Amino acid sequence: MLGDPQTGKSSIINCFISNSFEEDVAPVIPVAVLPPEASPEGQPLTLVDTSSRSSDAATLTKELVKADVAIVVYAADRPETLANVSSHWLPMIIKTNSKIPVVVVGNKVPCPGRTQDPWSCVSTFTLTSF
């Protein structure tokens, strides 16, 4: 999972792992390996959070080379983070590992009347091409 700083990458992973939303989450979550029964396909799932700091670029590149999919997160309340998806993150992914699928996730979308269910405001979209 990659994207600009403060887009909620760590919060998304934490929410997926714990099935709850927490306000205070570590800046980078340790690698999480979920068991096969946690996925509909019955396959283990490894979630890798990445730092956006330029000093961690080598680690990010290493993780992208190993990845089966890249999830790029932008903050819906910060339009510049969406602009950086196409100007920075997608070119980096294509240069590093052009064969993996990419999922773009808009986070921090206002959710009026949000309940305790962390998935109550999730929308699903199908992306057919870039």
Dist CA 30 CA 19 (whole Å): 17
In sequence order, which residues have a C-beta less than 8 Å from that of residue 114 and are 6 or more positions away?
A: 120, 121
Dist CA 119 CA 53 (whole Å): 29
Q: Rounded to two decimals, what is the model's pTM?
A: 0.82
Map out the domains of the chain as residue ranges. Answer: 2-107
pLDDT, one tens digit for every residue, the chain (130 residues): 999 999 999 998 888 888 788 888 888 989 988 889 887 888 888 999 998 888 888 999 999 999 999 999 999 999 999 999 999 999 999 999 989 999 999 998 776 665 556 555 555 544 444 4
CATH architecture of 2-107: 3-Layer(aba) Sandwich (3.40)
Q: Which two tokens stand for residue 95?
A: 């240069």
